[in-house]
Structure 1
Amino acid sequence: MLKRYKIIFKNGFVVDPVNHRNGRFDIAIVDGQIAAIAPEIDPTLADESFDLSGQYVVPGIIDPHIHASAWLGGQFAHKMLARAGVTTALDMSGPIDSVLDIAQKHGTGLSLASVQYVRPEHTVANSNPGSDEFRQLLTDTLRKGAIGFKLLGGHYPLTPEATARGIEVCYHHGAYVAFHAGTLATGSNIEGFHEAIELAHGYPLHIAHINSYCRGSVRPYRQETEEAISALEAHPNIVSESYLSPFNGTSGECKNGVPLSQVTVTCLERQGFAPTEKGLEDAIVSGWGQVNVESGGEIILAEGESALAYWKAHDTDTTISFRVNLPEPRINLATVKQADGKFVVGSISTDGGGIPRNVIVESGLALVRLGALSMSEFVIKTSHNPAKMLGLDNKGHLGIGADADITVLNLETQKPVMSMANGNMVMFKGFVCGHGTRFITTTEGEAHVRSKGLTPLVIDLNSRPFCKRD
């Protein structure tokens, strides 16, 4: 008999709210796409079939905020994402050259996009770049394969005026622009978030990890959370995501005896440690600061003397995590809806990748089991909405002809069982079996992506709306 399909997934409980499917279906895959969905598909028509009885089958998990560069995330990011059931992700800082190199050497079959970081004395000359400098940076960034850039205000702030210029330049080119809120006038807090909305001047903007501005550093955290919700409802040009891990991630790098990142300074002061290199050393020994350490083919959080030795051996240039995310804002921001039933915060992210907090499935399914989200709502927040944010029409659903991006979930264990990206197996029962990377880029970056040995997934800046809020 002539084989019509590469793979058939049998007997899984399919949840695809875009196509109004919520029940037991078989799914057939060929040429990297969904070829058929029906209550029964003859398994003899495929080269291989998998019985998924008792498992949920959902569109591939899309994480709209991860880190997969040598600067943040490192070489194990792709493996850690694959184990977590992710099929597509947005690296949210770059640097783009490093993201491409790691994707080429350590890819696990995922689709990946990246934005380039804007950092004084690194990608721009100082904290007050003009429009021409931003335009040149954007041109170079797109040619290298990124889809836009990210303003790292909370860590390495620009002037408010320069921040506004950067957002406007991206808008006029149609490029993606993300912002970790904060400028030289504000910090990474609720005031910085309000300022970010003002500086956008109505242009589309992805304000990163809304939960990070609701930690109670300016006003009581409940008040900050309500302010953030109200502001997002009032400004549909702003999209955001929130993550469910209690840990943040920031740079542990110090120079002249002080941390370079303002977020690190804030985290130290929050717990009464001096905002100095010595204060960070004390925080690591005490367990407040946890060093991201390479161990056994992944990144783990370490504390105490061994973590301190690792940090010093790397001349302080490591990632540090602090338990600063309070549970109530995390849950509230992940579940809150507008009056029309749509989510105020469109997506669940991790800010993870190579930072060990890839808990979209683990924590998201905990909300499902609690009844705070339905399984369909989980899919909307972890696949459909982030696909729309990134302008990926062929992802985020399981319609005929869609990319065969699938994540299989066990609700009882709250773990991913299997995942597939672009019709190729990425992970099976915790074993990462995928390879390569499909890199999401533009026509400007296609040639450079190919030169790196990666497969480009080309999107059109002129026809696909970025930062679209649903």
Structure 2
Amino acid sequence: MAEPAGYDILLKGGHVICPATGINGIRDVAVRDGRIAAVEETILPSSATETIDVSGKLVLPGMIDTHGHIYQYVTGRFGLNPDMVGVHSGVTTVIDQGGPSCMTLPGFRKFIAEPSDTRIYAFLSAYLVGGLEGHYYPNLYSPDCVDIDATVRSAIANRDLVRGIKGHAEIGGFARWGIKVMEMAAEIARRAEIPLYVHFGTLWGLPESGANGEDADTILERVIPLLKEGDVLAHPFTRHPGGFVNQQGEVHHVIQAALERGLKVDVGHGSHFSYRLAKKAIAAGVVPHTLGADMHGYNTHVPAPAGTPEEHYDDENHPFKGQARFSLTQAMSSMMALGLSLEQVVPMVTINPAKMIGLTDRVGSLTVGYAADISVLDDNRGRFLLRDNEDTKVVAERLLTPAFCLRAGKKFDADAVILPQAVAA
């Protein structure tokens, strides 16, 4: 009689979807020593120390959030706790978008990336100050506050952590300084040979379209020629001027050509997201490659800790007071409510982000031998009400919610306080 395989954990009977390996069906997944040991139609429960029944649930490669803001404390009220956004929300990898800079990256490594249970990467800010509360201190985001050489050196020296550069192409910066900062950000990314992730859409408190003769609808066509294959256009469905849909309600004419030459699109959901404009862009053939949640301290309500008066903890004056709790799985549900299939959405949080950061050899797949980063989701059926920051409401017939995840084989329940509650339609 053969000896038991000696697995540590067996996930039994779940619907496994792994675009990287082509699996889409009922499978058992076994973990040993923190790594994927087997993915098969049937694995005996007696072969594992612990068996978890995941029948009726979705079992995905560990989800990757391509747009996080997790430089907690250093980025003021902006940065959320990385494990709250990550493993305790069913997400095994979070990419911070522009929190650390070449100046502050050592602190990000020491106090965020290293101690977190979540796998952490960063897109380094093009600005020396990183992702501070720029809408309060806009002068920190001028060309004088960019050091191309220092940022390139930092990105190259920290390649294990830094997987891209973050830049902002929005009307406030253009009205103050023109395209100069974007030119500098593009040069940093070219020289460091990593992707540039570009924010489009107006930022809070900055000049509107028309200031100093600048037109938000011209930004895309001026910025896209600076970009290279693999660079990322973020916030395609923004409700603010400067996104993929112009102020006449038309999808910008340069988008299709940009996609054809290898530029990528990240949803960057958060408070920018508009169901109304997303419908127009998707109808025009704009299907995002990746799905960043873009949660931060202004658009995600974090309840006060026990014993702390709410009024002493929550900022009454922040720009998006009252935003509901949020999650990456809620963003996935939004995409499906707009007509995309589950099979279209799953790659946006698994293999496509892995390609974006050049790490398909270790994340985004349930390949045997890879670290056992696995997200397990509940696939709820019914009629659920979703809303955006324009207060547009849509009805979703499927609502994905995180059940738990394994990060390198260690189990974390999806118990983050920011996870939204289902609302029946």
Equivalent residue for 1:74? 79
TM-score normalised by the chain length of structure 1: 0.63
Matched pairs, number: 343
What secondary structure sits across from 1:347 in the alignment? coil
Which runs of structure 2 are paired with 1:187-226 in the superposition (5 Å)?
Answer: 189-200=216-227, 202=228, 204-212=230-238, 215=241, 219-220=246-247, 222-223=249-250, 225-226=251-252
Q: Name the CA distance, whole Å, in 1 between partners of 2:34 and 2:257.
A: 40
Give the equivalent residue in structure 1 for 2:274. Answer: 326
1:450 counterpart residue number: none
Q: Which moved more, 1:40-49 or 1:180-189?
A: 180-189
Bigger fraction of residues in helix: 1
Q: What's the counterpart of residue 177 of structure 1?
A: 196
Q: Which ranges in structure 2 are unaligned for 5 or more consecutive residues?
A: 132-138, 203-210, 301-324, 381-398, 418-425
**Cα separation, 2, equivalents of 1:199 and 1:110:** 33
In the alignment, structure 1 residue 99 sits paired with structure 2 residue 108: yes
Matched, 1:110 2:132: no
**80-89 or 157-166, larger mean C-alpha shift:** 157-166
The 8 Å contact of residues 62 and 374 in structure 2, kept in 1 or not, is answered as yes
| Partner Cα separation in structure 1 for residue 27 and residue 359 of structure 2 | 24
Give the aligned partner of residue 420 of structure 1. 406
Matched residue of 2:97: which SS?
strand
Matched, 1:430 2:398: no
1:83 to 85, 88, 91: 88
The answer to whether residue 165 in structure 2 is matched with residue 149 in structure 1 is yes
Shift, 1:389, TM fit: 0.6
Pick from 27, 30, 40: which aligns with 1:28?
A: 30
The structural deviation recorded for 1:125 is 8.9
Amino acid at match of 2:90: G
Q: What is the deviation of 1:396?
A: 1.7
Find the partner of 2:259 among 212, 233, 239. Answer: 233
Instruction: Report which stretch shifted further, 140-149 or 34-43.
Output: 140-149
| Matched residue, 2:148 | 134
* Letter aligned with residue 177 of structure 1: L
Distance in structure 1 (CA, Å) of the matches to 2:98 and 2:51: 39
Aligned to 1:400: 368
Is 1:384 the counterpart of 2:399? The answer is no
Tell me the distance in 2 between the aligned counterparts of 1:58 and 1:405. Answer: 9
Deviations 1:412-462 (A, max 9, x none): 15211011222222x324269xxxxxxxxxxxxxxxxxxxxxxxxxxxxxx
Distance 1:38 1:384 in 2: 20
C-alpha displacement of 1:181: 4.3
Q: Percent identity?
A: 22
Alignment of 1:309-388 (within 5 A): 325-333=273-281, 335=282, 344-352=287-295, 354=297, 355-356=299-300, 358-368=326-336, 370=337, 372-388=339-355
For residues 228 and 358 of structure 1, do their structure 2 counterparts lie closer, same or farther at Cα, with a shift above 3 Å needed? farther
More deviation, 120-129/347-356: 120-129
Give the corresponding residue for 2:267.
242
Change in CA separation of 1:227 and 1:360 when aligned onto 2, cut-off 3 Å: farther
Q: For each residue in 1:55-93, what CA deviation from the matched residue of structure 2 results, as whole angstroms up to 9, or x when unmatched?
A: 111112111111111216435242133333211121111
Q: 1:446 — aligned with what? A: none
Report the alpha carbon displacement of residue 106 of structure 1 after superposing the two structures with TM.
6.1
Structure 1, unpaired ranges of 5+: 249-324, 433-470
Q: Which 10-residue stretch deviates more, 390-399 or 47-56?
A: 390-399
- Quick one: distance in 2 between partners of 1:187 and 1:43? 64
Equivalent residues in 2 for 1:8-19, closer than 5 Å? 8-19=10-21
Aligned partners of 1:10 and 1:53 also within 8 Å: yes
CA shift in 2, pair 1:212/1:187, >3 Å: farther
Q: Distance in 2 between matches of 1:371 and 1:153?
A: 27
